[in-house]
Structure formats: C-alpha cells, structure tokens
Amino acid sequence: MARGALLWVIFPVTCLAAAADEPKADQEAIQGKWVIVSFTVNGQPMAEDTYKDLRLEIKGDKYLITQGGETASRTFKLDPTRKPKAMDVTYDDGPNKGKTNHAIYALEGDILTICRHQQPAMERPKEFTAEAGSGRALIMWKRVK
C-alpha cells in the first residue's frame, strides 16, 4: 500500500476514535464538587441567600444536589456531539421521580453552565437564556478546588 493511501485509511479511523472519546472526556471533566456563581429563573436573578448553601456533586453518572442538609439524587447523561451540548437529568427521587429535564450545558475550564426548563419533560432549550416568560433556569456553577 502506498504511503499516501495508508494516511487515508488511518486518518478517518483516528477521527472516529477522537469523536467516540468526546463524551467520555466531558463525562470525566464534569466530575467534582460545584457551587453556584449565578442563578437566573424566568428573567429574574435569584437572591444569593436562596442558593448560597446549595452544592452540586457529580460522581460517575450521578448529579447530587445538597441544600440544608438534604441531598437529592439525579442520573444524568451527556451528549457533547449536539450543538449546543445536551444533558438529560432524570430525577431519582422526590415528586418528579423518573421524569427528565432536557438541558444544554457548556463546560469551560472550572465553569459549568446549564440551561433547562424549570419543569421536567419540556423541550430542550436551544440557547443559554432564561428570559422572562421562558420558564427556563440558567445556572452557572464554579468548581470547588
């Protein structure tokens, strides 16, 4: 096989392997503990005292939210191949058990931004906004080091 022909065989395989690793890379990068930097719901910035003790811990495929000594569990799945990147978060407990929030996310260094509807089972947002009347929440998290 000529050297040039071999590159045509290897290059697509390498690109496919990189694409297959992308979900795994985001899944690993998102792991850890997070605190809220900003929280906007329906166009209204939430008062800091409503979320100052709210914590997020991501372990494996679990999304654990703790506030006031109580922890709620969610199971999540990422799809970084979508534009914007997609996250499905399914309630493991509480009144919405079994329901899913279809969200979008952006991970930039130690900042995780998530946009979702306030209620589960709504359509996935197409952009990172939570203007008045949208029914969406825009949450910016910062990694705890």
Strand partners, 44: 41
Q: What pLDDT, on a 0 to 100 scale, did the predictor assign at position 24?
A: 74
| Tokens 């506030």 sit on residue | 67
Average confidence (pLDDT) over 123-127: 96
Q: What pLDDT, on a 0 to 100 scale, did the predictor assign at position 16?
A: 38
CATH number of the 3-143 domain: 2.40.128.10
The one-letter amino acid at 79: D
Average confidence (pLDDT) over 51-74: 95
Boundaries of every domain in the chain: 3-143
Q: Which of these ranges, 10-14, 23-27, 124-128, has the smallest mean pLDDT?
A: 10-14
Look up the pTM and report it: 0.82
Percent of the chain with pLDDT over 70: 84
Q: Would you say residue 1 has pLDDT above 70?
A: no
Average confidence (pLDDT) over 131-139: 96
Band of residue 69 on the pLDDT scale cut at 50, 70, 90: very high
Average confidence (pLDDT) over 36-44: 96
Mean pLDDT, rounded, of the chain: 87
Band of residue 12 on the pLDDT scale cut at 50, 70, 90: very low
Average confidence (pLDDT) over 99-112: 97
Q: Is the peptide bond before 12 cis (omega within 30 degrees of 0)?
A: no
Per-residue tokens: 66: 């703790």
**Distances, alpha carbon 7 to alpha carbons 11, 36, 52, in Å:** 6, 47, 54
